[in-house]
Structures are given as C-alpha cells and as structure tokens.
Amino acid sequence: MRGVGMYIIGATRGLLNLTPNEPRTPEKVESSVSSMSKRKRFRRHCRRFWCVYLIANVVFLAIFLPVFFLVAIPAIAQLVVNKSDLRIINAEVMHPTPETIRMTLEAKVDLKLAMGVRLDPVIFYTFVRSAGHENAYAGIEIPGQTIKGNYSLEVTDQLTPILNMTSWETFVSQAVFQKETALSLYGVTTGYLGVLKNHIVLDKDVVIPTLNKFEGFSISDSTLVLPAEDDGSNLVANITLPNPTVLSFEVGTITLDLKSGETDLVIGNATVTGVTLRPGNNTFSLRGVLDIGTMVGNLTEVLGSQGSALNTGALSLTAVIKSIVSNGILIPYYTEVLGSLPLVANVSIGDVLQNSLTRLGSSETRNDKRRRDPPLLGGLVGYGDAYNQVASLKHNRHVQKIFQDEEPERRDAMIDSLARYYASL
C-alpha cells in the first residue's frame, strides 16, 4: 500500500492552505476544501444564470434611475431652497398712486451649496400669510440668473400694480402698527444644477422690523409766528418720524389736525410736505395754523386736557392725519391706515415762547410788524378785553407752575407778547 500512495497525483504537494511547518490536521483540510467548493459553485451559478442577473439589473436600473432623477434630485433641490437663508437688505416703495407703486428690492440668499444653480426668470409674489399667496398684493419680476454661495438678488424701481388692495392695506397696517412683521414671498421657477432640470417653489416668510406706531415721534423747535404770515400760518416746527426698519416709503404731503391732549378739541392744523420715510430718524418741517382764539375760548378744557404734561412745563399735542397726497393725488390706503394712528407729543411751552420771542425780536420781523400793525399808542391802549383775556394767564396757577423757574418779569413779558398778538387778530 505504501508503494501505491507514492504514485497518486498531488500526493507530495502537501495539504492546501498549509504552511510547510503547519500540522496537517483533518479540520484544516476540511475548511480549505469547503471554501474552494463554495467559490466554484458560485462561479458556476453565475455562468449558468448570467442572463437572469443581467435582466434583473436592467429592471432595477430602469426603476431606480427615473426615481432618482425625477423624485430624489428635485426633492434635494427643493430641500436646499427651503433650508437656504434669505435676508432683506433694502426695500423701497416709491411713487405711490391709488393703483400702483414702484418697488426696489435687494435680498441676500445663501443656498449653502458649492455648485451654482441657474434659475429661469421668476415672479416673486409678496403676500400676507393669513390671506395666502393667491391674494398677493404685488408681483416682483426677477430676471434669470445663476445663484452661487451668498448671492444678491436685486430689482430697482420696478412699476408694480397693486394686485389685491385688501392684502396691501393689511400689510401697510402691519408695517405701521406692529414692531415686526413677515414679508412673505412666493415664486415658482425652474432651476438647473448642471444638466439636471428641477422644478423649484420658493415659499418663505422673512421677518423684518417695522414702524411700531412711530415710537419716538416728537415735535421740536416749535415757534409761534407773530404776526401770522400771508397764508395764515402762525406755527412752524420740526417733526421727527422714526423708522427702525430696512423699508423706505414715499408718502407725500401730509395734512394733520392738531388737538389738545387726547381730547377731540381741534386747536389747529398743519401740513408736512415731501415726506419719505427712510431707515433711521426722519425730520421734516411743519407749517400750520394754531387757533389761539379757540384755545383761549376753551381755556378750561385745554388746561384740563393736559394732565401731567403741564407739570413738566409742556403742552400735550395730538396730531391726527386727515389726508395724504402724492403728486397731487389722494392716496387712500395711506390716508386710511395712518389716519387711524394718533401721534402724541409733548411740546415745551418755555421753548415755544422763547423761540417765538426770539423770532419776534429779529430785525426782519420787527420791520415787517411795523409795516403791518399800527403803533401801540400808550403801550396797551386799545386792546381792551381781548388783551385782558390772555394777560390774565399771568395769574393762572397752572401757568405760574410752568414758569416757576422764570423771573416774574420775564414770564409776564412773554404773556404780554401773546396777548398783544391775540388782541390784534
């Protein structure tokens, strides 16, 4: 038997997968033979059924690739748009008419994507979220362009029809009365990522600060013009309208009623021209007519309406907008919204009188007064009850409290000046 084994093929090669010095155990031999057997069977199986596997792969790719390009890629593109940052840098609403406005818009968009995305032209509709984009108040046309990284989108001075007046008035009201509001944008376009074409919907709310009822409104440099000018104006002042937003509004010419305190007693009217609200504090000149006769005739009501303002030496005035006109045309949406917002300011009485007397004492005013008014024969002779009615304020406890820091002679001189003016009306 030993001689027969020597003639068996491979008898001298040793066991497969064994090193020369490794023991040839039965377990090693069985594992090596089993591994070779599995690989051979798998190769034979693939050679036998290659046609089946080919058909299966073709079917898989026929299903997967359309799903990938028609569903997955658009979904990824839409997700990129949804997750992108959009910030309003500047927005201007200019040249208002009852039916149109001119829009300028600059926005920064960060797609957080290294590759550029080419967009077809799109109309971004601005709307109020509660009303839905179907009731958009304006549409802004954005030309086709390629967006990459942190990119600026900009349109300038674009004539825009007001599409829905109710939605527009709602937005204007939110911009005036609220501390912040959402500028909602909606647009549908086609985006191209390389050769891939995707349908993209932009539907975003961009929160922006708004006018917050013009918090910080003030009236300064108030001066009584004595005597009144030819058009009847006897009051000049500056008003300040704060705008803490990135929005700019061209308003136009504002006509206001001036009321005493928070009562309905109208004591004058005023006009402010060329009003355009830009970011920051906006100061404009005010010219008006203060009805001193009404004030004196309703002195008790006037003093009673002042409340704590008199204790600080101030006169509380409420300005109520009656009309807003731009380029000679009444702007109803601004008139309605801003007309519902009373603007309250405290005006220093001491500053009013000081400014008035300074103006009255100027050489130009004195010469003008000499030409208009008769000389004061004997000082106060001929003024009668009209003068005495105002001059009696020198003995009013409220007035004395206001001017408690003034010398009595200076206080009386101020009141006498007002008395002479009122008597000459």
Q: What is the pLDDT of residues 159-197, one digit of tens each?
A: 999 999 999 999 999 999 999 999 998 988 877 766 667
| Whether the predicted pLDDT of 240 surpasses 60 | yes
Structure tokens at 99: 């039916």
Q: What is the pLDDT at residue 34?
A: 56
Mean pLDDT, rounded, for 76-102: 80
Q: Which pLDDT score is estimated for 52?
A: 59
Q: What is the pLDDT of residues 119-156, one digit of tens each?
A: 788 898 999 999 999 999 999 998 888 777 777 788 99
Q: What are the tokens at 374?
A: 């008769």
Q: Give the Cα separation of 26 and 207 in Å (integer).
A: 78
Q: What is the 3-state secondary structure (H, E, C) of the chain?
A: CHHHHCCCCCCCCCCCCCCCCCCCCHHHHHHHHHHHHHHHHHHHHHHHHHHHHHHHHHHHHHHHHHHHHHHHHHHHHHHHHHHCEEEEEEEEEECCCCCEEEEEEEEEEECCCCCCEEECCEEEEEECCCCCHHHCCEEEEECCEEECCEEEEEEEEEEEECCCHHHHHHHHHHHHHCCEEEEEEEEEEEEEECCEEEEEEEEEEEEEECCHHHCCCEEEEEEECCCCCCCCCCEEEEEEEEECCCEEEEEEEEEEEEEECCCCCEEEEEEEEEEEECCEEEEEEEEEEECHHHHHHCHHHHHHCCHHHHHHCEEEEEEEEEEEEECCEECHHHHHHHHCCCEEEEEEHHHHHHHHHHHHCCHHHHHHHHHHCCCCCCCCCCCHHHHHHHHHHHHCHHHHHHCCCCCHHHHHHHHHHHHHHHHCC
Res. 230 pLDDT band, cuts 50 70 90: confident
Rounded to whole angstroms, the Cα distance separating 306 from 396 reads 15
pLDDT of residue 1: 46
Highest mean pLDDT among 134-138, 311-315, 392-396: 134-138
- How high is the pLDDT of residue 379? 35
| Stretch among 98-112, 139-153, 231-245, 255-269 having the lowest mean pLDDT | 139-153
Sequence-ordered list of residues with C-beta below 8 angstroms from that of 153, at least 6 positions apart, any chain: 105, 106, 107, 108, 109, 142, 145, 147
- Place 242 in a pLDDT band, splitting at 50, 70 and 90: very high
Per-residue model confidence (pLDDT) at position 382: 41
Look at residue 396 and tell me whether its pLDDT is greater than 70. Answer: no
Where on the phi/psi map is residue 74: left (φ > 0), alpha (ψ -120 to 50), or beta? alpha
CA torsion, points 244, 250, 252, 254, in degrees to nearest 10?
-20
Give the CA distances from residue 177 to residues 129, 173, 318, in Å, rounded to whole numbers and listed in that order. Answer: 17, 6, 17
* 323: amino acid identity, one letter: S
Task: Report the alpha-carbon distance of residue 179 to residue 244 in Å, rounded.
Answer: 9
* pLDDT computed for residue 79 by the predictor: 54
Mean pLDDT of all residues belonging to the chain: 76
Query: Higher model confidence: residue 348 or residue 326?
Result: 326
| 67-83 average pLDDT score | 53
Residue 82 corresponds to which tokens in the numbers above?
A: 């949804």
153 touches 109 (CB < 8 A): yes
Closest listed residue to residue 219, CA positions, set 350, 317, 324, 323: 317
pLDDT of residue 288: 92
Instruction: Write out pLDDT tens, residues 355-392.
Output: 776 776 553 444 554 444 443 323 333 445 656 656 66
Q: Is the pLDDT of residue 213 over 50?
A: yes
Q: Percent of the chain scored above 90 by pLDDT?
A: 34
Provide the pLDDT for residue 294: 84
Contact assessment for residue 357 and residue 414, using Cβ atoms and an 8 Å cutoff: yes
Q: What is the pLDDT of residues 3-41, one digit of tens each?
A: 555 555 545 555 444 455 555 555 554 555 455 576 777
Q: How far apart are the C-alpha atoms of 230 and 209, rounded to whole Å? A: 43
Regarding predicted confidence, which is higher, 253 or 388? 253
Q: Is 167 buried (19+), middle (13-18) or exposed (0-12) by CB count in 10 A?
A: buried
pLDDT at 27: 53
Q: Cα-flanking dihedrals φ and ψ of residue 313, to 5°?
A: 75, 35
> For the residues 70-79, what does the mean pLDDT come to?
52
Q: Are strands 247-260 and 266-277 parallel, antiparallel or unpaired?
A: antiparallel
Q: What is the mean pLDDT of residues 40-62?
A: 62
| 286 pLDDT tier (thresholds 50, 70, 90) | very high
pLDDT at 393: 60
